[in-house]
Chains A and B, each alone.
Chain A
Amino acid sequence: MKRIYTLLLFALLAGGARAARAEVRTEDVFGKFKNQVIQVRILEKSSGNKAEVGSGFAIGASGLAVTNYHVVSSLLWQPGDYRAEAMLSDGDTREISIIMLDVAHDLALIRISGKPLAPFKLAQKLPLKGTRLYAIGNPRDLGLTIVEGTYSGVLEESLYEKLHFTGSINPGMSGGPVIDGAGNVVGVCEATEGNQIGFLVPERFISGMLASAGPEIKAEEFVPDITKQLLANQESLVNRLSGSPLAAEDLGPFRVPGRLSAAFRCWAKAGEEKREPYTTITSACNTDDNIYVKESLLTGNISFSHYLLEGKGLDPIQFSALEEYYSRMTGSHGNNFGIHDEDMTDYECDNSMVTTNGITFKASLCLRGYKKIKGLYDLSWTGASLDESRRALVSELDLSGITPGNAEKFLKRYLEGFSWKK
Chain B
Amino acid sequence: MEEIIQAINAEDPAPLLPAGLRGLPAALVLFVSAYLFTCLTLYLSYYSRIRPPQAGLAALVAFAVITALFMAWSGVWAAAGRIFRQRTCFAAHISIASAAYLAWNVLTLIVSAAAFSFDADKAFRPLKLVVFWFCAVWAITCHLGLVSKLRRKTVLIISLLLVTVLSGVWLGFTNLSEKMAPGSGKAVFDLWPPMFRLVKGKPAGEFAAKLSDLRIRVDKAADSEK
A376 CB to nearest B CB, Å = 11
Q: Can you pick out 19 interface pairs between chain A and chain B where the beta carbons lie within 8 Å of each other?
A: A316-B193, A316-B195, A318-B45, A328-B188, A333-B187, A345-B225, A347-B183, A348-B186, A350-B214, A352-B207, A353-B119, A355-B200, A362-B119, A365-B211, A365-B214, A379-B211, A384-B191, A386-B194, A412-B208
B211 touches A362 (CB 8 A): no
Q: Chain A residues near B47 (CB, 8 Å)?
A: 277-278, 311, 314, 318-319, 321-322, 325
Compute how far the CA of A347 lies from the CA of B217 in the bound complex, rounded to whole angstroms.
10
Stretch from A138-146, A198-206, A238-246, A366-374 that touches the partner? A366-374
- Asked whether any CB of chain B lies closer than 8 Å to the CB of A14, the reply is no
Whether a CB of chain A sits under 8 angstroms from the CB of B18 is: no
Query: When the two chains form their complex, are residues A363 and B188 in contact, meaning their CB atoms are under 8 A apart?
Result: no
> A interface vs B, CB < 8 Å?
273, 275-278, 311, 314-325, 327-328, 331-333, 336, 339, 341, 344-356, 360-369, 371, 377, 379-380, 382, 384, 386-389, 404, 407-409, 411-412, 415-416
Complex Cα gap A318–B46 (Å): 6
Taking CB atoms, residues of chain B closer than 8 Å to A346 are 178-179, 182-183, 221
- Return the contact of B45 from the options A321, A353, A356 (Cβ within 8 A): A321
Contacts A325-B47, A348-B221, A369-B219: A412 and B205 contacting too (C-beta < 8 A)?
yes
Q: How large is the interface on B (under 10, 10 to 19, 20 to 34, 35 or more residues)?
A: 35 or more
Which chain A residue shows the least CB distance to B125? A351
9 nearest CB pairs, A to B: A355-B201, A347-B183, A353-B201, A316-B193, A331-B187, A322-B47, A415-B204, A354-B207, A349-B186
User: Once the chains bind, are B222 and A371 in contact (CB under 8 Å)?
Assistant: yes
Chain A, Cβ-Cβ closest to B119: A353
Shortest Cβ distance from B201 into chain A, in angstroms?
A: 3
Q: Which residues of B contact A366 (CB under 8 A)?
A: 183, 186-187, 214
Q: Which single residue of chain A is at the shortest CB-CB distance from B188?
A: A328
The answer for the CA separation of A411 and B210 in the assembled complex, in Å, is 11
Interface code B16-43, partner A: CB below 8 Å = 1, 0 otherwise?
Answer: 0000000000000000000000000001
* Of A336, A352, A356, A408, the contact of B182 (CB 8 Å cutoff): A336
Given A351-B121, A361-B201, A416-B204: A367 in contact with B215 (beta carbons within 8 A): yes
B218 is contacted by which of A363, A364, A367, A411 (Cβ under 8 Å)?
A367
Question: Told that A276-B50, A315-B44, A321-B191 touch, could you supply 13 new A-B pairs with CB distance under 8 A?
Answer: A273-B50, A275-B49, A332-B187, A345-B218, A345-B221, A346-B221, A347-B186, A348-B186, A353-B199, A353-B201, A366-B183, A368-B182, A411-B207
Determine if A388 and B222 form an interchain contact, defined as CB atoms under 8 angstroms apart.
no
Convert B98-118 into 0s and 1s, putting 1 for each residue whose CB lies closer than 8 angstroms to a CB of A. Answer: 000000000000000000100
Q: Is B126 engaged at the interface, CB distance under 8 Å to the other chain?
A: no
Chain A residue nearest to B190 (CB atoms) is: A324
A83 to chain B: closest CB distance in Å? 29
Q: Which A residues lie within 8 Å of B208 (CB)?
A: 408-409, 411-412, 415
Closest to B118 in A: A353
Which chain A residues border B211 with CB–CB below 8 Å? 365, 367, 379, 404, 407-408, 411
Does B128 sit at the interface, judged by CB under 8 A?
A: no
CB distance from B195 to the nearest CB of A (A): 7
The listed residue (B201, B207, B218) touching A348 by CB distance below 8 A is B218
User: Which residue of A319, A332, A352, A363 is within 8 Å of B193 (Cβ)?
Assistant: A319
Does chain A have a CB within 8 A of B212? Answer: yes
